Chains A and B, each alone.
Chain A
Amino acid sequence: MKLGNLIIAGIVTGSIYATFAVCVSVWYRVSNILNLAVGDFAMVGALSVDNLYRVRGLPLPAAIACTLVVVAIFAWLYDMVVLRLAADGRGRAEGIVLTFFFTFALSFFIDGVAKMLFGTDVHAAPALWNGQAIAVANLHVDRAGILVLACAVLIGGMFWLYIRYTLGGKALEASGENAVGARIVGIDTRRYRRLIFVATAVIAAIFGIVESPITGYTYLSGATISLTGFIAAAYGGFRKPGRALIAGLSIGILEALLGGYVSAEYGDTVMYAILAALVLAWPRGLGFESAVSG
């Protein structure tokens, strides 16, 4: 039953990577900017709820609502001020790497602020669904894990419906295909960039809140989640949310299996080595060419 349990644990972490990977790739399609700060929003969400609830004594729903609102406002302001200047301003930053460095700076900034506000200890948001792990035929599933999966399915499904069936989704597709062309036919790509940026920040925060009871976060946890989500997005060529989803899930399962069967200490090291080897062996198949060529 070890295998089954490992796979379940893998699917739970994998669904987080997958969600973040989808966030990165959907936003990349609209903005042409790679976002390395998604995981940091998750970390901030978890630590802030914990702080408001445990230290300041706010009721849990208020703490969550407050956190999400602050995250949304911050993301909106960041887009309005920094991204606007960086991507639309007079001295428009050219090239993916340069704009990428803005989100990179953002990640540093968020981590630093979190360190200032919440300290360096491991914290977690209070569990939303209390009780023992649910056992079905020797398989153990954390209640938080079930919540994570439910969130992933719900949010993923909503995203999919939005992109597939609404005018906004079509506009989003169009901006991703060709930003200039989309702008010419009257789609405000900047608005979608802002919308998706705020949405991904809030989604990440929700995931942080839901997942943190399982692993616990420090102010530095965001970077690791970001990197893994980012790598999963890379396997989808940064432009294919569907592939990013599968990649995220597979990375989660691989991580759990390697941790369980190969070595708890070196499991991650082996996993990253495998992932690096995959990129090198099959760059075109993983969509890297399309990520670079317009």
Chain B
Amino acid sequence: MSRVPLFGPSSRVPRALGPTALIIVAGGLFVVIWGQQYAGSVFVLSACYAIVTAGMAVQIGFSQQIAFSQSVFMGAGAYGVALLNTHFGWPVLVCTPVVMAGSGVAALLLGAVVTRASGLALAVATLMLPLIAVGYVTSAQYLGGAVGQSMPGTLWPGSSSAAVAVGGGLVVVAFLAVAVFVAARVLTSDIGLELFALGADERTAASMGIRTPRRKLELFVLGCVFASLGGAAYAGTQQFVPETLVDPTAELALLIMLFIGGRRSIIGAVIGALVIQYLQGASSWVSVNILVVEGVLLTVVLLVDPEGLAGILATTASWLRARAPIAFPARAAAGAGGVAAAAAVSAVTWVGAGVAGEAESDSPPPKRGDGAGDPTVAASSAGTTSALLTVAKVGKDYGGLTVLHDVSLTLPARGLFGLCGPNGAGKSTLLNVIGGSVPPSRGQVALRGADITRKPPHERFYLGVSRTFQAVHLIKGRTVLDNVAVSCLASHHSSIVTRIGRSRLAQARAEASRALDDLGLAGIKDREVSSLTLEAQRMVELARAMAPGPSLLLLDEPASGLSEDQRHRLAATLQQLGTRTCVLLVEHDLDLVAQVSERIFVLSEGRLVFDGDPATFRASPIVTSLLVGL
């Protein structure tokens, strides 16, 4: 089951300190010098929007949780500040944290409901938020209705208009700097890596222990709080909140800023806001015909580079680096040559290092028949008395269709077990039921005697269940090391907020590094994953599943798409894994299964029709008729 990605691959990891310093210095200077003039006021306005788009970059760009809630919460921030200021006379700087806290609580409540949906459902459900909000605001008299709400207070309470403009501008720049810093710190931390994984594929992320519901809720709240801060800054500097701030067009305008600037770049999000606001401020023609300009600009930018202006800048920069004669050669090649250069070096696959020095690629690995005499395997499988995994009478119905009929099987703590069957026999469903991504309709799944039938995938991961999926789901744009580190993170129980201060990504990387060394993949640690061959990508997935030292490893067709040679190498690796842990292997390649497994299960039309050792498997008439088609 291949999933259509909501976005293409992500590419760049943001940095925290550089952009923040840049915003403080450049923004601060700009406001001090031009703060009282028109250019300065446009800058301050765009900074208000940039605060919102920075949050959107984290939520929508990197984590791919598309929620159309920003304009609503920007409006909430702005109206909140305006009301508190007008009716209670609170200074704007006091109102701001109060309004942010209020928005946070509101976002938490709303998000608890909304983020249960994922992908398109989330987008469509939240698409209605601006529609609801604008309908409400237009008719609400206490908010000024369609006219808008004006307020007496200013963000910086100065006596002269100059002090108000410059002071307010500096406060907004400070807000923006904080927003960018927080966003970038979160993304570079270990939780940031979780968010990248969530963005790559939600199901895979959950299978690696990432508590996806919680992260999605946190992201939603983060986006909303950033938006309300932007709204508060807007109200404080403009002293007026128009009704158009919450309508769907405003939401779309924010998205356009994000996409023009570059959705997967914090600084890009800021650039996008600046570009759109300055274009509007630069000429009255643009301001009147902003829809045409935005439409054309968005189309052109997306055609040139889906990563927006930030992507174009980065490509230009690496092109210039490549052209510069003093450029550091390796870096220049990697930057400029892109896929072409990477493909050229792809000769450095994991094979180069040898699979733990065990397999010779040209001689076929030992047959399973010989392997049965292997003392370690024999000892380990004989030595385990209690069962690791017990699947008891598991059934699964989809509507009226039953895909699993009371399947039962038991696996010991060590060994390699094959699961075969024709297409549609229910192999993947059984694997999903064991992994937790599909709830069974009947029956029980137990790990070391404890019932885990109702446990979500991430909790099964904590108990030692690790898996790969049929399709390769790696985080494109990140290195092999980071991809493996995803399964070694210790951040699952922490909240995003704790990651602004410290990150323990280094620890996870160290563990990942050991796992890669172990599988003989040390040579490709720093390669970007999409430059790898399919074989190497599958090995990276295997390393990722192995890295946390699971007690049960579920592999869904690891050999599909691999060549004969590559299969032989994979077989050798699998055999080695089987001596350390319990592996359940779903595979179409019968030779491979028979060669590496010590016991084989065959599913047909949702029923277990065969259970035996490889020799019996090869001789079995059921197997021959079902799988070989004789």
Contacts and interface: CB of A to CB of B under 8 A. Distances in A.
A112 B293 contact: yes
Q: By CB atoms of chain B within 10 A, which of A85, A94, A111 has the most?
A: A94
A166 to B, nearest CB: 28
A168 to B, nearest CB: 25
A97 B6 CA distance: 5
Given A94-B7, A293-B4, A268 B131 contact: yes
A223 B295 CA distance: 14
A122 interface: no
A232 B117 CA distance: 17
B303 interface: yes
A231 interface: yes
Nearest to B9: A94
A279 interface: yes
A223 B249 contact: yes
A107 interface: yes
Given A108-B256, A294-B2, A269 B132 contact: yes
A116 B293 CA distance: 12
A108 B252 contact: yes
A98 B296 contact: no
Contact of B132 (A86, A113, A273): A273
B303 A288 contact: no
B557 interface: no
Given A105-B302, A292-B119, A96 B124 contact: no
A273 B302 contact: no
B116 interface: yes
Interface string A258-294: 0000000110110011011001100100101001111
B423 to A, nearest CB: 16
A115 B291 contact: yes
A272 B119 contact: no
B120 A291 contact: yes
B432 to A, nearest CB: 13
A20 interface: no
Contacts of A111: 291, 295
B511 interface: no
A287 to B, nearest CB: 10
Contact of B303 (A86, A112, A280, A286): A86
Contact of A288 (B2, B121, B132): B121
Nearest to B295: A109
B6 A95 contact: yes
B338 to A, nearest CB: 12
B8 A276 contact: no
A238 B299 CA distance: 23
Given A227-B131, A269-B132, A293-B4, A280 B299 contact: no
A288 B113 CA distance: 16
B124 A227 contact: no
Contact of B295 (A94, A97, A107, A292): A107
A287 B113 CA distance: 19
A283 B306 contact: no
B493 interface: no
Contacts of B252: 104, 108
Contacts of B256: 104-105, 108
A36 to B, nearest CB: 9
B169 interface: no
B3 interface: yes
A93 interface: yes
Interface hub of B124, B255, B298 (most chain A Cβ within 10 A): B124
Contacts of A283: 117, 121
A9 interface: no
Given A112-B290, A269-B135, A280 B259 contact: no
Contacts of B298: 101, 104-105, 108
Contact of B291 (A95, A109, A272): A109
Contacts of B128: 231, 272-273, 275-276
B160 interface: no
A97 B336 CA distance: 27
A98 B289 contact: no
A146 interface: no
B295 A116 contact: no
A276 B5 contact: no
A106 interface: yes
**Residue picked from A91, A97, A272, A275, most chain B C-beta under 10 Å:** A97
Contacts of A220: 249
Interface string A104-137: 1111111111011000000000000000000000
B136 interface: yes
A276 B122 CA distance: 10
B73 to A, nearest CB: 16
Could you say which of A98, A102, A107, A291 has the most chain B C-beta atoms within 10 Å of its C-beta?
A98
A73 interface: no
A112 B292 contact: yes
Interface string B429-452: 000000000000000000000000
B248 A223 contact: yes
A115 B120 contact: no
A12 to B, nearest CB: 21
A23 interface: no
A253 to B, nearest CB: 18
A293 B7 contact: no
Contacts of A97: 6-7, 64, 66, 123
5 contacts: A95-B7, A104-B255, A234-B124, A269-B135, A293-B1
Interface of A: 32, 82, 85-86, 89, 91, 93-98, 101-102, 104-113, 115-116, 220, 223, 227, 230-231, 234, 238, 265-266, 268-269, 272-273, 275-276, 279-280, 283, 286, 288, 291-294
Given A96-B120, A109-B299, 4 more contacts: A272-B128, A279-B125, A280-B117, A280-B125
Interface of B: 1-9, 64, 66, 113-114, 116-121, 123-129, 131-132, 135-136, 139, 248-249, 252, 255-256, 259, 288-296, 298-299, 302-303, 305-306
Sort A-B residue pairs by CB-CB distance and give the 8 closest, nearest first. A109-B295, A112-B291, A94-B8, A112-B292, A269-B135, A108-B295, A288-B121, A105-B298
